[in-house]
Every structure is written in C-alpha cells, then in structure tokens.
A and B are shown apart, each in its own frame.
Chain A
Amino acid sequence: MDKKENSKLSRRNLLKVIAAGGAAATVGVSGCTQQQQGTTTKYACPYCDKEFESQSKLKTHIQEDHPQEISDIKKSGVITWEPEKCASCSRCLMACSAYHDGSISYKISRILWEDDDYIGQFEFRRPLLCQQCDSPECFYACPIEGAMYIDEETGARCIDEEKCTGCGECVEACPFEPTRVLMKADGDAAIKCDLCSDREGGPVCVEVCDRNALTYVTSEEREGGT
C-alpha cells in the first residue's frame, strides 16, 4: 500500500460504487457486471461527480456525456466456455500455467477452478475465465503507470509483471467473484489472463482443450457482436 501512496495517481478516478448495505461492490459499465443482492448501491460516475440509482442509468449517462473517456480503450478479445462441452478435466488450467510459468499449479493458473459443493456426488467443476471487460476495472484501479496495459493486437487487459508492485488494487477491483486477477504466492506481482497475446497460435487453453469447450473470440468479432 505504501507503494501506491508514493506513486503518482495518474489514472482517472476509480469507478466506484458506494455500498450502503455493507459489502462493497464495483460494477462494470458494460461487458462485465455483477449484481449484488441485499445492498442499496449507488453508482458513481468515474468521470464526474454524478451518482445514479441504477447501473443502466450510469451506463446511459457515460455513453451520452463521456463518449470520449470510454472510447479510448480498445475492446478486447475474450475466451468463451461452453459448459455442455466441458469434461472438467482441468487441462486448460494446467496448460495455462505451463505456458506462462513453466510450471503447473492450480494456484498460478490464470484460469480459476471452481468445485461445486460435494454432497455424495459431483455436480460440476468449472474453469472460470477472465471476461476482458469493455470497461476494465482492474486496469483503472492500477496506480502504477504501465503496470497494466492493453495489448494492442488482442486488446487483452494485461499486467506487466516487471512493473507491477503487487499492491493488489486490481485484484480487489475485479468485479467477479472469485476475482479473476490473482496475486502470486510470493506477493511480488498480480497475474491475470493475457489471452496469450505474445503466443503464436493464440490462447494455449483453447488450443489444448480437446473437447472444444473453449473458443477464442477476437476483439473484432466481439465488436461485431458475434
């Protein structure tokens, strides 16, 4: 946290939600949203002082009054997952950490793994993927210039591990539960899915999934609404 205070807060204001009912929640402008139940939330505009009663109102406001602010972030590609094809083999996770770290562990995979409660049988285990939000709150939350960046080609919201100080702001900012931005075990840096942007052949998880349960949708395809 010290590092954060020392750094220049060059980033625009964080997109914040004031949670009256206890649990704080952040809500994306589009692409990725998470509804919180049992809380009265207000949706604050990150670009001015206005607050709104609903997410959709905030969204409309941003689109109408701040088109410039949101248009400079490139839409990202994304990996989609089809549960009816998945065999829950966890190979995607393993290949992810093999590619990024040369070693394999659920804990360092950029894909998370969720087990259903075990009650006499298994219902499902599922890989949880980063949604590469249109309005990436992890990116906004990062206080270090350049530690998070948008990959020019794929649009992936990426972390530069060299520059990352491990402050954890992005981890907390991720609107998903569990968060798709992880802290490394040594606390040195945060890690997240980068769509294997530097890898020839694209995302490794998509490539190794022999059930074809994962599909890579490029930013252009996503832009086109496909």
Chain B
Amino acid sequence: MDGYVGKILKVNLDNGTTSEIDTSNYVPDYIGGVGIAYRLVWENMDEDLTEFDPGNPLVFMTGPCSGTSLPSTGRTEISGLAPEGYPEPWVANSGFGGDFAAKLKYAGYDGVIIVGKAEEPVYLLISEDGVEVKDATHLWGLGTLKAQELLARNHSDDMGAALIGPAGENKVRWATVQARTENAAGQGGYGAVMGSKNLKAVVTIPGDTEITVADPEAVIEESKKISEELATPNQLEGELETEESQWTTRHQSCGFSACTGGFAGCLPVYYSNVPRKFTGSGTVSGVKYCVGNCGPWLYNGDWGDTNTALEVNKLCDDLSLNHWEAFAGLNWFLCNAYNEGELNELMGEELDMNEDAPHVYPDTTANVGFSKEFAVKFLRKIAHREGEDADILAEGTPRAAEEMGLEEIAKETHKHGYGPHWDGRYLHFIHYPVWVVSALAWAVQPRDPFNQQHGYPERLPSFVEEWAGDTNIMGTETLPYDTVVDLAAEVYGTENALTGWKNTELGYKDKEIPEIWHENRQLMKGSVPACDRQFPLIIDPREDDNIGDYEAELRMFNAVVGTDWSLEEMYEACEKIWNVYRSCHVLQGRTREQDETVIDYFKQPSDWPDEPQELDPDKFRDLLENYYEERGWDKENGWPTRDKLEELGLSDVADKLEEKGKLP
C-alpha cells in the first residue's frame, strides 16, 4: 500500500533480538502514527504491566504522509505506558516533528516497537545494512547535544536521532525524548521509559528506501494548496532574516525545528549561535515560540531577555527535561506551596518566591521568581536526582506532592499527572463555555488533551471578534461571536457547538459533539500525521463561506495512500482507534470515577470575567453521560461495550476485556 514502507521493527532488548511486523496488518484501518501505536501498545500490554517493567512497549510510529512533501508531516508519535500519568501510568502519546520520521522510513521502517531492558547502556542503530543494538556506555551521562555530536561523527550528519539525556537515564518521570536539537516528545515521560530500558538513543541512517505515493500530482498540488491555506498574515510577513544582533535569526524554522515537508504555518523563529552565558560555554541554538522560550515563568519573568530564555530552554533539551512541566506545571505548584506557607526551603536554599504570582491568566508577567542561577541549579539537580529534594521532584508533581504531604495543593495545578493546559486557568484564558468542552476533554483523556486538540479551546475562539479583537494573534481578521456560532454549527453538525456565552443555559448543551469531533480530528492528524497545532482548519475568513479546509488531512491521506475515503470513513477509523485507546485505559483500571476527578479542578475559583465562573457538577455529569452514550460506552464506568467493540471489528478487544472482568 502506497505511503507505507511496509515493515515495523520489533526489538527485544532483553536478548537483543529483532523481528519485523508487516505494516499491512494494520493499514489502512489504523491509518498510521498514534493509530497503529495504540494498537501495538494494546497488543503488548496487560493489566499488571507497570511503566518501568521491561515489558512496557515503547512505540515510535510514523504515518503514511511522513517523509513526503505534504506540509508538517514529518512527525513521529510515541506511545506506551506513561510514567508521568497519575495515579496510574495511563497509556498516552507524545509526538515530535523534525526529520526522524522521514529518515526512519528512508531506512525501511514505518515504526519501531521496543520491549525488554538491556543489561548495559545501548543504542539502536537502524539502517538498510541491518539493525544493531550497540554499546552506549561512552554516551551514558552525556547531554543530548554532545551525545548527538558523537553519534553524528560515528555515523552520519544525515542521521535521524531520538535520544535521552541525564533526566531520561535517571528515570525522571517528566523526561523527554529529544530529537536533534529543536524537537522533543515532551509529555508522558517517555524519556524515562527509554532510561528504564537502558536505551540511550535510536539512530536511523536513511538509505535507498523510497516512499511511493499513489497520486504524485495530487501530492504536489495538495502540498501547495494546503500550505497556502495554513499561511496566515503574521507568518508571511517579512523575509527570513540572517542577522539579528549578535546571533543568527531565521524565521519560520521548518527544516531546523519543525517538520520535513514544508511550511505549515509554523510560527517559530530559529536562532543559532546564541552564546551560553551561565549554563556552560560555547553557543546553542533555540526556538522562540510557545513553551520553547517560556523559561521566564520559572525565573524572573524577563521576556525581553531572549538570550537567557533560549539558554535555559536549551539546558532542558540537553538534560531531556520537559519544558512544560518545568515552566508551566511544577513551578506553579511550588509557588502555590510557598505562598500557602508550606514550602520555605528547597535544595538547601531559602526560598524567596514571587508572592504576587497569580494563579490565573491573563497576567503573562506571572513567574515564580527563582533567580536565574537557582533555576539552572534546580533543573540540573532534578535531572541528576542529586539530593533528596531533587529526587522527590523528579517523580513529577503529584507524586512529589504525596511525599511532601501537599496533595491538595497539587490538585490546584495537576490532573492525571499533567500541568494546566488550555483549561481556562493559569496560562490559557478562555471563556465559558469553551472551558466546559475543555473539562470534558480532560475528563475522558489520559493526559492533558490539548496537544492534539488545540482546535477547540485555542483556534476556534481566536476567530471570535469579541474575544480576540479585530485581528487575532495570527494577523487574521475575526468574526462576530454569533457568526462563529453559526459556522461552528455547520462544521460540527450541531447548532450548540459554541453556544452558551450569551445564553448561559446552553453552555453544556450538546457539547459532547464538538468534543467527539475533535477526538476524531486528533487521531486523524496524529495518524496521518500532520501538525498538532495547525490542523484542523475550522474557520477561514479568506474563504467566501468563512469555513476552513477541514478535509485537508483527509485529502493528504487519500493522495498518498490511494484510498478514496470520505470524512465519515475516516471518522470510523478514528472511532476504532479511540476505542482501542480507551480499552488500554480500562485495562489499567480507568473508570468513570477517575474521569470525574476533573470536576474539582474545574470548580476552583478563578478570575474569569464571564459568569458562570466554575463548573456545575450536575450539569457536567449529565454531559459526561451524554458523551458515554454517544460513544456507545456504558454510563456506570465509561467502558466500551461489546456491541460497540464488535461493531468496530474489535471483538478480540472485547474478549480480552471480558476475560479481565472489564466489559460492562
């Protein structure tokens, strides 16, 4: 089948053996990316498996469009039991862009699944000459930057690499998997899974493998068309610059920091030759965008000091620490604990934190007030688990809070183990009823859901004039709320997709529909794969009907694979994948009770300007039931039913759940 190169590599590190799985067993049904990854995890897990068991399957998957000229498709998706998950290591996913996916496919594999644990540090070398499990003792302990330098010298500057630094080696539960210099799979703690397997790196050397595409002309046409649609005024402004003060600036950093395959409306600015002033010597590169330069939240809030932001950011990359947890999760927890008088000293230093640090957006000057020097020490010590405090914090916020007796404070910031993200609190201010859908997404998902669902809480509201102003952050013109409500009705297939802001009674009505729509979309873009952030195109004021090209990812898939799927057929595939994903969680003990734990989180007082300001538990429980019903899951536990699973061709999943007593 076009688009896939045909094989998934399976490596057992217990004995160094490798085997191959035919990709054709899984496609086109499971599409690729997260779709295949979740299925592989399901097939390789049982209810007793824990995150640091050698048997925890660590899956790296590409999709059919990876390595093609279609925009933003250079993505790799990781899945497995996630050490960052809480209280259970819920099976989750984390992805990264860049060139690893393309280079894995050019080496002949659509994906890699790794089980077992090596006795000594090793790295995996994948090429058309064979797969080798190689000694990595000389790399162990090195940061990701230096380790890649040695790997590139030994192999090729053209290699693809996904690897860990000290945080991963030391099983820090919020350790990332770093890929080259500007990409990382951040959430989930998959770096710790690599560390637990004594696996330093996966290196892939591109060979002669070609990715055949079913309709080359369509691939070329869609590459152009979709890029144009993704481009927004702010991204098109200005040419790439080559100089900015003392270091090199390059706007729109596709090849360096985002994906192979071309511009996808990426906003990041790539910098090279940034001098290291207090994190070491020499220079580093970095990306200024989103969490890529959010270090100031951890220290003094000085956003004008790009040098320090890039430096601290790169320190995290080098250590393989998750920026989000460092700058927008754990830091807020510590600040809250300090301000409630529960924490005065850390790592042998008396704390002097920011007493005004607001709990809630929109104050972007918020920061916890560490000195820069202490911030650097804090990150380094955690990555190395140096000293008792660092060792505790390495366990991630909720587990550290348990140890410190501060569980209640951790509940202010963390859910399922992950820090706040597009829930209307802390950094992402959103209006009612947008956060109602946010709450539903948080309820039923295993991790912070908005890495792959930016569309509803971030993109859709950015087109509402009353909320975003005349032109939004992308420089695109906005539309009146009432217009966007009508457009949303058309796209989502329910008139209540965005209702509630004016008529608060409607805030919970039919909101399971947009949630399910976006769940389908997150699976679609996670599988095809395409950019988490830019897709789907929901609203586009440049179009006559103001509706965006929300079938773009589908057309990319069809052009490459040669299918002729309709959007409905694509959603059927997504529903199947979602049920496999949920079944993994059910096997791990997920019930409605856990889903409902988000209610407390969304019931906290906030500074939202609209009424109501907090979640109504009764209305929310009704919404949750509507969601289960729409999904074909039982209301008591939120478990997929046999009927639903069989309808989706998943009777094997139903059988296994029944055997474990987890079928309603």
- Do A and B pair up? The answer is yes
Query: With contacts A105-B208, A122-B256 known, is A84 near B272, CB below 8 A?
Result: no
Please report which residues of chain A, range 69-117, place their CB below 8 angstroms from some CB of chain B when the two chains form the complex: 84-91, 94-95, 97-99, 101-108, 113, 115-117
Which of these binds chain B: A9-17, A133-141, A203-211? A203-211
Q: Tell me the smallest distance from the CB of A121 to a CB of chain B, in Å.
A: 4
Q: List residues of chain B with CB within 8 A of the CB of A90.
A: 99, 102, 255, 260-262
A22, CB-defined interface residue at 8 Å: no
Q: Tell me the smallest distance from the CB of B511 to a CB of chain A, in Å.
A: 36
B239 touches A103 (CB 8 A): no
| Closest residue on chain B to residue A93 by CB atoms | B69
Compute how far the CA of A71 lies from the CA of B99 in the bound complex, rounded to whole angstroms.
45
B503, CB-defined interface residue at 8 Å: no
| Closest residue on chain B to residue A184 by CB atoms | B208
B255 touches A121 (CB 8 A): no
Which of A87, A103, A123, A125 is the one whose CB lies under 8 Å from B213? A103
B181 touches A106 (CB 8 A): no
A98 touches B272 (CB 8 A): no
Compute how far the CA of A79 lies from the CA of B579 in the bound complex, rounded to whole angstroms.
50
B437, CB-defined interface residue at 8 Å: no
Compute how far the CA of A86 lies from the CA of B262 in the bound complex, rounded to whole angstroms.
10
Residues of B whose CB lies within 8 Å of any CB of A are 67-69, 71, 99, 102, 106, 145-146, 148-149, 152, 157-158, 180-181, 206-213, 216, 219-220, 223-224, 227-228, 231, 239-242, 250, 252-256, 259-263, 272-273, 282-285
Q: List residues of chain A with CB within 8 A of the CB of B284.
A: 120-121
Query: With contacts A84-B239, A210-B263 known, is A103 near B210, CB below 8 A?
Result: yes
A91 touches B146 (CB 8 A): no
User: What string of 1s and 0s marks CB contacts (under 8 Å) between A43-79 and chain B?
Assistant: 0000000000000000000000000000000000000
Query: With contacts A104-B67, A118-B152, A208-B69 known, is A89 near B254, CB below 8 A?
Result: yes
Q: List residues of chain B with CB within 8 A of the CB of A1.
A: none
B208 touches A89 (CB 8 A): no
Q: A106-B206, A122-B285 are in contact. List 15 more A-B contacts (CB 8 A).
A: A88-B254, A89-B254, A89-B262, A90-B255, A91-B261, A97-B210, A103-B210, A104-B211, A116-B157, A120-B149, A121-B283, A122-B256, A122-B272, A208-B223, A210-B263
Of the listed residues A84, A104, A209, the one surrounded by the most CB atoms of chain B closer than 10 A to its CB is: A104
Which of B149, B158, B242 is the one whose CB lies under 8 Å from A119? B149
Compute how far the CA of A104 lies from the CA of B241 in the bound complex, rounded to whole angstroms.
30
Q: List residues of chain B with CB within 8 A of the CB of A86.
A: 240
| Closest residue on chain A to residue B261 by CB atoms | A91
Sort chain A's interface into a size bin: 35 or more
13 A–B pairs (Cβ distance < 8 Å), ordered by A:
A85-B240, A88-B254, A91-B69, A94-B261, A95-B220, A98-B69, A104-B67, A107-B208, A115-B158, A120-B181, A121-B285, A125-B255, A207-B224
A87 touches B208 (CB 8 A): no
Compute how far the CA of A98 lies from the CA of B284 in the bound complex, rounded to whole angstroms.
35
Q: List residues of chain A with CB within 8 A of the CB of B208.
A: 105, 107, 185
Q: Tell me the smallest distance from the CB of A200 to a CB of chain B, in Å.
A: 11
| Closest residue on chain A to residue B239 by CB atoms | A85
Query: With contacts A87-B255, A88-B254, A89-B255 known, is A95 near B223, CB below 8 A?
Result: yes
Q: List residues of chain B with CB within 8 A of the CB of A87.
A: 240, 250, 252-256, 263
| Closest residue on chain A to residue B228 by CB atoms | A210
Q: List residues of chain A with CB within 8 A of the CB of B241.
A: 84
B145 touches A120 (CB 8 A): yes
Query: With contacts A87-B240, A91-B69, A121-B272 known, is A107 near B207, CB below 8 A?
Result: yes
| Closest residue on chain A to residue B257 by CB atoms | A122
Query: With contacts A121-B283, A207-B224 known, is A105 near B250, CB below 8 A?
Result: no
Q: List residues of chain A with CB within 8 A of the CB of B273.
A: 121
B255 touches A88 (CB 8 A): yes
Nearest 5 pairs between A and B by C-beta?
A88-B255, A91-B262, A121-B285, A89-B254, A94-B69
Compute how far the CA of A182 lies from the CA of B514 in the bound complex, rounded to whole angstroms.
51
Query: With contacts A98-B69, A115-B158, A116-B157 known, is A211 near B252, CB below 8 A?
Result: yes
B220 touches A122 (CB 8 A): no
Q: Tell me the smallest distance from the CB of B527 to a CB of chain A, in Å.
A: 19
User: What string of 1s and 0s marks CB contacts (under 8 Å) between A183-214 and chain B?
Assistant: 00100000000000000000010011111000
Compute how far the CA of A97 lies from the CA of B208 in the bound complex, rounded to whole angstroms.
13
B239 touches A98 (CB 8 A): no
A102 touches B216 (CB 8 A): yes
Q: Tell me the smallest distance from the CB of B274 to a CB of chain A, in Å.
A: 9
Query: With contacts A123-B272, A210-B228 known, is A104 near B213, CB below 8 A?
Result: yes
A103 touches B256 (CB 8 A): no
Q: List residues of chain B with CB within 8 A of the CB of A123.
A: 272
Compute how far the CA of A209 lies from the CA of B231 in the bound complex, rounded to whole angstroms.
13
Q: List residues of chain B with CB within 8 A of the CB of A119.
A: 149
B68 touches A89 (CB 8 A): no
Compute how far the CA of A88 lies from the CA of B259 in the bound complex, rounded to whole angstroms.
10
Compute how far the CA of A125 lies from the CA of B157 in the bound complex, rounded to whole angstroms.
10
B106 touches A105 (CB 8 A): yes
A99 touches B216 (CB 8 A): yes
Compute how far the CA of A97 lies from the CA of B213 in the bound complex, rounded to whole angstroms.
10
Compute how far the CA of A101 lies from the CA of B209 in the bound complex, rounded to whole angstroms.
13
B240 touches A84 (CB 8 A): yes
Q: List residues of chain B with CB within 8 A of the CB of A98.
A: 68-69, 213, 216, 219-220
Q: List residues of chain B with CB within 8 A of the CB of A209.
A: 262
B260 touches A118 (CB 8 A): no
Compute how far the CA of A91 lies from the CA of B145 in the bound complex, rounded to whole angstroms.
26
Compute how far the CA of A94 lies from the CA of B224 in the bound complex, rounded to whole angstroms.
13
Compute how far the CA of A87 lies from the CA of B265 in the bound complex, rounded to whole angstroms.
12
Q: Tell me the smallest distance from the CB of B182 to a CB of chain A, in Å.
A: 8
Compute how far the CA of A99 lies from the CA of B223 in the bound complex, rounded to whole angstroms.
12
| Closest residue on chain A to residue B220 by CB atoms | A95
Q: List residues of chain B with CB within 8 A of the CB of A117.
A: 152, 157
Q: Tell me the smallest distance from the CB of A178 to a CB of chain B, in Å.
A: 12
Q: Tell me the smallest distance from the CB of A113 to a CB of chain B, in Å.
A: 8
A122 touches B180 (CB 8 A): yes
Q: List residues of chain A with CB within 8 A of the CB of B69.
A: 91, 94-95, 98, 104, 208
Q: Tell me the smallest distance from the CB of A48 to a CB of chain B, in Å.
A: 43
Query: With contacts A104-B67, A211-B240 known, is A120 near B146, CB below 8 A?
Result: yes
B220 touches A204 (CB 8 A): yes
Compute how far the CA of A87 lies from the CA of B267 in the bound complex, rounded to whole angstroms.
12
A210 touches B227 (CB 8 A): yes
A122 touches B261 (CB 8 A): no
Q: List residues of chain A with CB within 8 A of the CB of B259.
A: 89
Q: List residues of chain A with CB within 8 A of the CB of B231.
A: 210
Q: Tell me the smallest distance from the CB of A7 to a CB of chain B, in Å.
A: 28
User: What string of 1s and 0s marks CB contacts (under 8 Å) between A155-166 and chain B?
Assistant: 000000000000
| Closest residue on chain B to residue A113 by CB atoms | B158
Q: List residues of chain A with CB within 8 A of the CB of B149.
A: 118-120
Q: List residues of chain B with CB within 8 A of the CB of A125.
A: 255-256
Compute how far the CA of A152 lies from the CA of B212 in the bound complex, rounded to whole angstroms.
31
Q: Tell me the smallest distance from the CB of A190 to a CB of chain B, in Å.
A: 16
Q: Tell me the smallest distance from the CB of A90 to a CB of chain B, in Å.
A: 5
